[in-house]
Structure 1
Amino acid sequence: MGRLITGRRTVSQFARRYGILQSQAPLTDEFPDSPDRLAKALNELEAAGYLSRVKHRAPGQRIGTRTTYYECPGAKPEPRAPLRRVSLVKREPGRAAGHAGALPGLGELLRQPAAQLLAGLRTLDPRLTLSVRDIADLAPAVAQWLDRDVPGPQVARTLASALPAGTLYRPSRILAYRLENWLPPELPKQAAAVGVVPLQECEGCARPFRSAVPGHCRDCRPPSAVTEE
């Protein structure tokens, strides 16, 4: 019983200080008792209901013993309240968190070239794996680039190059910024090309002159033909 009393005093102190121990080492460091005496006291306390020991897998593929101490024999640890998952994403009013089918016309949108370009960005950089919702939000901006005669491969390179190092937690934000702020201007409308009048060899003096049809130059033509021009 002396060992049991000593053990109870030990348990009372450590139950308030630690509650659960992974090994017997703290007891050995705290009290002058030998490890064998402490081990026998723990066995008696376990039989009396002052503690419980459970085997568990420790780091490094080792098997350890988790010891739980109680103030009263046979007491059970107080059950913890179950953790409640809290979403940190603020959704816009009226924007449901459902699947892709919840958006009208989404299937048709994903078949457009702009959406397919966005879906293929993950082949250039795995960090640019976008959700269906992100693709639906960014597709109109990509379509605006394509409407301004920017080739699709060039748009993809602009979006996927020179990205920040490390993990991209919100790649859609980066893409939205680039699509909005790096949008190139529309190409100017080209003026109608003016045809070049070919050179002809004068049939009178053999000098070159410009005309749509062969004939004489201005100096070799009769005065009446020059006046009609």
Structure 2
Amino acid sequence: MGTQNPSAPARAQSAPAADPTRSRRHGGGIIHENTRHTTRFVVIGNHLAQHPELSLLAIGLSCHIQSLPTGAGADIKTLTARFKEGPTRIAAALRELEVYGYLRRERHRTETGRIVTRTVSCNQPKTPRREPADTGCPDRPTPRPTRPAGRPPKQPEHAAPPHPRHTVNETRPRKALPAVPQPGCTAPALLQQATDLLTTLRRHDPRLLLSATDTAHLAPGVAAWLERDIAPTAVRHALTTDLPDAPLRRPAALLAHRLTAQLPPPPPYRPSAGPPPPRYEVRNCDGCDRGFRAPEPEDRCRDCRTAARP
């Protein structure tokens, strides 16, 4: 009874530790070195961090907004002052989040009567645009429909939806161009001269390449300058001088503003000249036979008439 079983292991053998630097599927890949957070953290779902349609800027901006405390500023001006991206890129990212339900902006009237905009951040939105009437943020994630085991997922019949920034730009109507001065004379030759001037602006600055619609809108404004005795070179100088260094998003709107804001006054009033003096036919004087001009009753020149007077 005191004999021990030499074939039994002295203690349970533990499995060899896996090499953290080697992946089972391939030699590369990401390795997570995680530390549990106990304070100052926010939970972000993979549906946002790995969203297949959102841009990287929109995903990062949503993570930042979800980490802000209630009441913190999340408007374009505040976010532009916080990050290096400009207001155009931040506004586009906010529109992406609105399209996919991660963000919505509501207008409320305060007790003083002032209208303010409140930004609502949803950490678990519903499928965007599936239920337009419901704009709230659910407390639980929307359950996905189950499918029988062993059946492959059904492939979509239609192509993938377009990028959200393209969808937003297509649904928003284009803002109309500012009004331009109208000329008093709409002669075809004057409008053609104004059109030719606008089509040559791109030679001075390639950013001033105008479409046919924008040119037709701006031509009356240029004609209003030309009919005020402004030379075409002066009009071209007023439209192309001191342009901003940044890219021109709407060059036609900038030209329309300049045509209106810098419109010169009309030329000074010039009274119309009287009728030209009458021009009589040349005749010969009866006294000295010199040629002179005078009305019909006169038959002598001025000198002969003066000498004949007593």
TM > 0.5: no
Give the TM-score band, short-chain normalised.
0.3 to 0.5
Structure 2 length-normalised TM: 0.32
Structure 1 length-normalised TM: 0.43
